[in-house]
Amino acid sequence: MNLHNKKILITGADGFIGSHLTEELVRRGHDVRAFVLYNSFNSWGWLDNSEPEIRKSLDVFAGDIRDPHGVRTAMQGCDVVIHLAALIAIPYSYHSPDTYIDTNVKGTLNVVQAARELGVAKVVHTSTSEVYGTARFVPITEEHPLQGQSPYSASKIGADQIAMSFYSSFDTPVAIIRPFNTYGPRQSARAVIPTIICQIADGARTIKLGSLHPTRDFNYVQDTVRGFIDITESDASVGEVINIGSNYEISIGDTVSMIAKVMGIEIEVVTDDVRLRPEKSEVERLWADNAKAERLVGWRPEYSGRDGLLRGLTETVAWFRNPENLKSYKSQMYAI
């Protein structure tokens, strides 16, 4: 699919990945409508920090993904929908699971139902590597069993199934992107990499974290953004689930050491019990097989392997160390 002369709606455009994706599509000259969460401050989230030329180019719609009427209104006149709007914090899903069903499952239903009614040409739905749970085999292919080890992951499994059911039942042109652990500038401090960087940048030398032994496949945000665009543009992605990951596994503990080295600081790590997931809910191992992404849509990570992770962490640290950026974070508080 050639995206030129196409109207693209991005839900969750105000968030971490969504804002980077929105900016990149605008830079490429595309016509973008940014769906942001309505609030009384008229905030566009991270898009408020975008370059003036990008902000002027945006068609912004403020609403709520849980509202089917608003979703349908936002999608009118759009050819493509890239759906990122979701609740994603795993600890908060233990606290308020009902909101995850409303936002992630019913919100996705609103998107695909409106896409069906309006005849949208392509829907790209955002999944997560958390749906795999602890790896039963590695690297994890798209055929790996799905395991809902947290209310969040269960809600995303439900959302994925709703999206794909519309492809199977109604031929709605749905593709599912399944990013592994994306990191980079603007990420919430609820995630491990910003948590580490923010504590160090704010002067702490004793860093509070949860489990250090689980492994993750960290994917730099610019690689994830390219994955979204490649999948959106590819006709071969319709009806498919596609992993976007670096194909490199590293433990949380080794990630901490790498960040400390990048920042030139010696630190001590202590376990903060409140940051630990319930034992059976912890995802012990994630490692992406990204062969399908390369085969189907031609995507491969530019920030791959240990060297790529080091380069991505260096860029991320530089962003967080900017006082104007760091002041947006409460580094000494645990954000669920």
Is 276 among the domain residues?
A: no
The confidence score (pLDDT) of residue 331 equals: 77
The predicted model gives 34-38 an average pLDDT of 98
Stretch (H or E) spanning 306: helix 305-321
pTM of the model: 0.97
Q: What angle do CA 73, 177, 238 make, to 5 degrees?
A: 75
CB atoms < 10 A from the CB of 239, how many? 14
Nearest-angstrom CA–CA distance, 16 and 222:
11
Query: Which positions ≥6 away from 193 have C-beta within 8 Å?
Result: 183, 187, 218, 255, 259, 313, 316
How do residues 239-294 score in pLDDT, each as one tens digit?
A: 999 999 999 999 999 999 999 999 999 999 999 999 999 999 999 999 999 999 99
Q: What are the tokens at 47?
A: 């898009």
Does 195 reside within a domain?
Answer: no
Structural domains counted in the chain? 1
Count CB atoms within 10 A of the CB of residue 275.
Answer: 16
Note down the domain range covering 51.
7-184+219-247+287-303
pLDDT at 275: 93
- Position 333 scores a pLDDT of 78
Cis peptide before 151 (omega within 30 of 0): no
Q: Mean pLDDT of all residues in the chain?
A: 97
Q: Which residues contact 220 (CB under 8 A, 6 or more apart)?
A: 182, 183, 184, 246, 301, 302, 303, 308, 309, 311, 312, 315, 316
For residue 232, the domain's CATH number is 3.40.50.720
Q: 159-203 pLDDT, tens per residue? A: 999 999 999 999 999 999 999 999 999 999 989 999 999 999 999
18 backbone dihedrals φ, ψ, rounded to 5°:
-60, -40
pLDDT digits (tens, 9 = 90+) for 95-123: 999 999 999 999 999 999 999 999 999 99
Phi and psi at 224, nearest 5°, equal -60, -45
Q: Does 214 map to a domain? A: no
- Count the Cβ atoms, other than its own, within 10 Å of residue 327: 8
233 within a domain of the structure (yes/no): yes
- Whether 13 is in a domain gets the answer yes
3-state secondary structure of 125: strand
Tens-place pLDDT, residues 138-157:
999 999 999 999 999 999 99
Tell me whether residue 310 is in a domain.
no
**293-336: per-residue pLDDT in tens?**
999 999 999 999 999 999 999 999 999 999 999 999 987 778 77
Q: Is residue 164 part of a domain?
A: yes
Task: Please report whether residue 28 resides in a domain.
Answer: yes
In this predicted structure, the answer to whether residue 22 has a pLDDT above a threshold of 80 is yes
